[in-house]
Amino acid sequence: MDFQLSFLLSADVLPLLFKGMATTVRLFACAWVLGMLVALLLVGLRAVPWRWLDWLVAVFVEYHRNVPTVVQIMVWYFGMPEILPRDIKLWINRGDTEFLFAMIALALNASAFFAEDIRSGMRTVPHTQLEAARSIGLSAFGALWHVILPQALRISVPPLINRALILFKDTSLAMAIGVVEMTYQTKAIENLTFRSMEVFVAATLFYLVASLVLMALGAWFNQRFPPAHKG
Amino acid sequence: MPDMIDLQHVNKWYGQYHALNDVTNQVKKGEVVVVCGPSGSGKSTMIRTLNRLEPIQGGRIFVNGEDIHAVGRDINVLRAGIGFVFQQFNLFPHLSARENVMLSPLKVAGMTKAEASELAAGLLEKVGLGHRIDSMPAQLSGGQQQRVAIARALAQKSPLILFDEPTSALDPEMVGEVLSVMKQLAAEGMTMVVVTHEMGFAQEVADRIWFMDAGQILEDSLPAEFFSNPQHPRARKFLSDVLEPRGAATLPY
Ligand SMILES: Nc1ncnc2c1ncn2[C@@H]1O[C@H](COP(=O)(O)OP(=O)(O)OP(=O)(O)O)[C@@H](O)[C@H]1O
Ligand SMILES: [Mg+2]
């Protein structure tokens, strides 16, 4: 089998590949940001001393950890429009519905894992830190935000980076509902041209480089914000 | 002088254990009260109820006229008016000395960054750490960390600071530097409640000594009286244990 780099670089194929890559990166970035925000919200909700809220968060986390991610994406894409009022549905349909629902599903899925990673980090912060934070007049939320979370996040970075890598790979599941991200695009180009080797090498390299970039970011963060040592 | 602290029939239980037994006493504004007593007598429990780090099950505690344990009080506002210094310093390890001191002024008192930074620099200077302003806690000795913790409490601009064994976790050579800062505060008129076994400090600085045992304040006296003529047998035993562990009967006068 002959490998033709020129095929990948041709004016027909290269823009398609770039478009796929751009969609994957955008999907990942949006899902990561939304997922992190939801995760922080979940962590905050767990700090509220209401049993039923704790239970609700636990159900949320278990659903996202135990149901296959691709099913979660389909639930949003095929299930949500059934529930939503007609006007909202029409409004959403004017945009990129596939992208939006895939992004939400991936974000919520990631948020469940992010929240667990942050919570494990929080468990390593001694209770005396909370007491000290409260004793200077910070509210429960203020103590969480200014004292507990910054320490917990430093501890949580390695698992969070792992989780970001998984999220990056999981963006490929969005092809199940027709989001034209990198994997979908690869498959589409292959279907048309039968140049399997070239396109899959391109996709593999792309995912590999993205992983390396994320790991480098993690290493940088760990150096910039080293886990604080107890004095 | 009006009362800074007013404890009225305070009762606290840990499950079945009666940790504070009908504690009633007052601390006047500007007074320095040293609390001593054997291990497990309830000193930490008592001092931690004063800023509601521990809840109580009976009685009332007024600090500066405010009912600290009243339901519906904004405890954050009340706590902001009470400094607390812990045995283990409990500095925030991810923040520099300056940032530790700035946190309450910034986030609780609502100062601007510039104001808080200036306040922090001044207070760190005051506790003798002007040259370590931007150090991280892990880079500081125990004595230095405890002085940052005192500066952090001072940044709350509260008229009252509570100390729970502030020098017990320190190497002996660092005890003096922390005590001298505390002496300076006392001289400036700060109201202080200090749980400590440093009897030299108690003699020199305290206006009154509370001796606690089994969740009660058994003795409340002037330092001179307490050291020369302790009333309660358990106080006598405690003093001889603390001052002369080998049992020889010399008192520091
Ligand atoms: N969270 C808790 N749960 C149950 N019992 C407790 C708790 N905290 C303290 N106690 C008990 O209450 C009693 C008083 O404890 P406290 O820490 O106030 O003593 P202390 O006088 O400060 O002693 P030390 O000199 O050792 O610090 C002890 O018998 C202790 O075992
Ligand atoms: Mg104690």
> Residues 120..149 of B with a Cβ closer than 8 Å to A: which?
136-140, 142, 145
| A211, two tokens | 């992983």
Cβ of A132 within 8 Å of Cβ of B108? The answer is no
At A96 the pLDDT is 82
At A1 the pLDDT is 59
Q: In the predicted model, is pLDDT for residue A164 greater than 60?
A: yes
Q: In the predicted model, is pLDDT for residue B185 greater than 80?
A: yes
Higher local confidence (pLDDT), A79 or B54: B54
Calpha distance A22→A28 (Å, rounded): 10
Q: What is the pTM of this model?
A: 0.81
Nearest alpha carbon, ligand 1 atom 25: B39
B128-149 pLDDT, tens digit per residue, is 999 999 999 999 999 999 999 9
Other Cβ atoms less than 10 A from the Cβ of A11: the count is: 6
Calpha distance A171→A186 (Å, rounded): 14
In order, the DSSP letters of A17-47 are HHHHHHHHHHHHHHHHHHHHHHHHHHHHHHH
At B245 the pLDDT is 57
**Worst-scoring range by mean pLDDT, A81-90, A202-211, B227-236?**
A81-90
Q: Which fold is adopted by the domain A23-181?
A: MetI-like fold (1.10.3720)
Q: Compute the count of residue pairs across chains A and B with CB atoms less than 8 Å apart.
A: 79
**Worst-scoring range by mean pLDDT, A225-229, B65-69, B95-99?**
A225-229
Q: In the predicted model, is pLDDT for residue B251 greater than 70?
A: no
Q: Which residues pair with B176 in a beta bridge?
A: none
Higher local confidence (pLDDT), A104 or B71: A104
Higher local confidence (pLDDT), B230 or B120: B120
B77 touches A at CB < 8 Å: yes
Q: In the predicted model, is pLDDT for residue B94 greater than 80?
A: yes
Q: Pocket residues for ligand 1 (CB within 6 Å)?
A: B 14, 17, 19, 37, 39-45
- For residue B181, the CA-to-ligand 2 centroid distance in Å is 21
> From the CA of B36, which ligand is nearest?
1
B57-93 pLDDT, tens digit per residue, is 999 999 999 999 988 888 998 999 999 999 999 999 9
Question: What is the mean predicted confidence (pLDDT) over A172-185?
Answer: 91
Nearest alpha carbon, ligand 1 atom 28: B40
At A46 the pLDDT is 82
The CA-CA-CA angle for residues A139, A142, A147, to 5°, reads 120
Average pLDDT for chain B: 92
Nearest alpha carbon, ligand 1 atom 5: B14
B12 touches A at CB < 8 Å: no
How far apart are the CA of A139 and the nearest CA of chain B, in angstroms? 6
Q: How far is CA A109 from CA A11, A164, A171, B56, in A?
A: 37, 11, 11, 43
Chain B residues whose beta carbon lies within 8 Å of the beta carbon of residue A150: 94
At B162 the pLDDT is 97
Mutate to test the pocket of ligand 1, among B44, B53, B212 (most ligand atoms within 8 A of CB): B44
Residue B248: pLDDT band by 50, 70, 90 thresholds? very low
B202-212 pLDDT, tens digit per residue, is 999 999 999 99
Chain B residues whose beta carbon lies within 8 Å of the beta carbon of residue A147: 92, 103
Cβ of B51 within 8 Å of Cβ of A135? The answer is yes
In chain B, DSSP assigns E strands to 3-14, 17-28, 32-36, 58-63, 66-67, 83-85, 160-164, 191-195, 208-213, 216-221
Q: In the predicted model, is pLDDT for residue B247 greater than 50?
A: no
Index of the ligand 1 atom closest to the CA of residue B165: 27
**Worst-scoring range by mean pLDDT, A53-57, A211-215, A225-229, B205-209?**
A225-229
Other Cβ atoms less than 10 A from the Cβ of A174: the count is: 29
At B246 the pLDDT is 52
Q: In the predicted model, is pLDDT for residue B252 greater than 70?
A: no
B148-181 pLDDT, tens digit per residue, is 999 999 999 999 999 999 999 999 999 999 999 9
Q: In the predicted model, is pLDDT for residue B52 greater than 60?
A: yes
